[in-house]
């Protein structure tokens, strides 16, 4: 099983242009840079891939325009430059790590991909040079990292589920943790004014996580007392196979109950509509 030890400051950090495929790309680069860092005398800043191999590892086999998607996601992780009407050049770095949840990040923006060359002759070849800052986070994060299965994180179809899962997994050492409105917006890269849409994202994320069956390695539930209060999450590690199978049964039962509840609501709406037609 392919795994990565991902720095929590990357999981909780903020990317400028972030989406599902860019998130998968970060994990893909992280995995290969981590392998190279263990090889003696190997330049782990430089990575070379065939585009078709990136497609397979990022789970893009069924997507026809995969080359354009991969090129865009790689460029999302590079430094961009813009010029205003006065000719002033502005430099925008793609990522800002976050070391702590309880205070606003004091970490500085940093590069991820320092150089990117895509050779389009015959087979597409990507030559990627990672920044020293990114490599430093990768190899010197001490105990501040989270073990993630690539099979799991590459399999999520929702960007929000991927963000939610990685964040919850990074806090799995604590049984309970509270997230305020601002902290949830930061997690999901949103700007909602109340908790309602964020709760919807959380519910959908939990549903997709429940579909992982035996691959699920954490069990997450949440509780909210009042609409203006922070959401409390309960995170339980599923260490052995029996715990995972038990979680599968519970999640399937919950999903079935929600499905039946949806059917009841739809039936009720149809009944009300028919009643209104008869009264006209």
My answer on whether 18 and 148 are in the same domain is: yes
My answer on whether 217 and 110 are in the same domain is: no
Q: 79-93 b/e with 16+ CB inside 10 Å = b? A: beeeeeeeeeeeeeb
pLDDT for the residue 108: 84
Q: Which residue in this structure is represented by tokens 């009300």?
A: 272
Q: What is the CATH number of the domain that holds 136?
A: 1.10.10.10
Print the domain residue range for 59.
3-155
My answer on whether 248 and 227 are in the same domain is: yes
pTM comes to: 0.82
As a whole number of angstroms, the distance between CA 80 and CA 181 comes to 30
Name, in order, each residue with C-beta under 8 angstroms of 196's C-beta and a sequence gap of 6 or more.
227
Specify whether the CB–CB gap between 169 and 175 falls below 8 A: no
As a whole number of angstroms, the distance between CA 202 and CA 78 comes to 30
Phi-psi bin for 102: left (phi > 0), alpha (psi -120 to 50), beta? alpha
My answer on whether 118 and 191 are in the same domain is: no
Q: pLDDT digit of tens for each residue in the chain (280 aa)? A: 789 999 999 999 999 989 999 999 999 999 998 888 777 655 668 899 999 999 999 999 888 889 999 999 999 999 888 787 777 778 888 999 887 665 554 578 999 999 999 998 777 899 999 998 888 887 766 568 899 999 999 999 999 999 999 999 999 878 789 999 999 999 999 999 999 999 999 999 999 998 876 678 898 999 987 777 899 999 988 865 555 556 555 555 555 555 544 444 455 445 545 655 555 5
Report helix, strand or coil for 102.
coil
My answer on whether 165 and 258 are in the same domain is: yes
* Closest alpha carbon to 23 in 45, 4, 43, 39: 4
My answer on whether 171 and 238 are in the same domain is: yes
What is the chain's length? 280
* Closest alpha carbon to 128 in 20, 44, 24, 42: 44
My answer on whether 76 and 195 are in the same domain is: no
Which residue, of 120, 155, 190, is where some domain finishes? 155
Q: 104-136 b/e with 16+ CB inside 10 Å = b? A: ebeeebbbbbbeeeeeeeeebebebbbbebbbe
My answer on whether 33 and 87 are in the same domain is: yes
My answer on whether 142 and 223 are in the same domain is: no
My answer on whether 226 and 109 are in the same domain is: no
My answer on whether 142 and 178 are in the same domain is: no
Which residue, of 103, 127, 155, is where some domain finishes? 155
Which residue, of 105, 137, 155, is where some domain finishes? 155
Specify whether the CB–CB gap between 133 and 124 falls below 8 A: no
| Count of the separate structural domains present in the chain | 2
As a whole number of angstroms, the distance between CA 74 and CA 133 comes to 17
Q: Which residue in this structure is represented by tokens 């990627």?
A: 128
Specify whether the CB–CB gap between 59 and 91 falls below 8 A: no
DSSP string for 118-159: EE-SSS-EEEEEE-HHHHHHHH--TT-EEEEEHHHHTT-S-H
My answer on whether 196 and 254 are in the same domain is: yes
């Amino acid at each position: 099983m392919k795994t990565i030890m991902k720095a929590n400051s990357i999981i909780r950090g903020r990317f400028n242009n972030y989406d599902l495929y860019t998130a998968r790309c970060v994990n893909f680069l992280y995995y290969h840079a981590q392998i190279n860092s263990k090889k003696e005398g190997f330049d782990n800043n430089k990575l070379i891939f065939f585009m078709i191999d990136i497609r397979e590892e990022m789970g893009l086999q069924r997507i026809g325009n995969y080359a354009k998607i991969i090129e865009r996601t790689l460029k999302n992780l590079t430094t961009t430059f813009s010029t205003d009407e006065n000719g002033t050049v502005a430099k925008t770095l793609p990522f800002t790590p976050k070391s702590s949840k309880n205070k606003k990040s004091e970490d500085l923006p940093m590069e991820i991909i320092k150089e990117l060359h895509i050779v389009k002759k015959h087979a597409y070849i990507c030559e990627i040079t990672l920044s020293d800052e990114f490599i430093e986070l990768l190899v010197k994060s001490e105990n501040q990292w989270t073990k993630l299965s690539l099979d799991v994180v590459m399999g999520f179809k929702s960007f929000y589920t991927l963000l939610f899962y990685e964040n919850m997994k990074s806090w799995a050492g604590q049984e309970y943790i509270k997230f305020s409105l601002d902290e949830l917006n930061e997690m999901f890269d949103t700007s909602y004014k109340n908790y309602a849409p964020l709760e919807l994202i959380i519910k959908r994320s939990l549903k997709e996580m429940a579909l992982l069956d035996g691959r699920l390695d954490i069990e997450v539930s949440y509780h909210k007392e009042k609409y203006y209060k922070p959401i409390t999450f309960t995170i339980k590690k599923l260490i052995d196979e029996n715990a995972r199978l038990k979680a599968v049964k519970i999640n399937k039962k919950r999903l079935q109950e929600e499905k039946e509840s949806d059917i009841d609501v739809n039936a009720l709406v149809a009944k009300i509509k028919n009643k209104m037609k008869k009264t006209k």
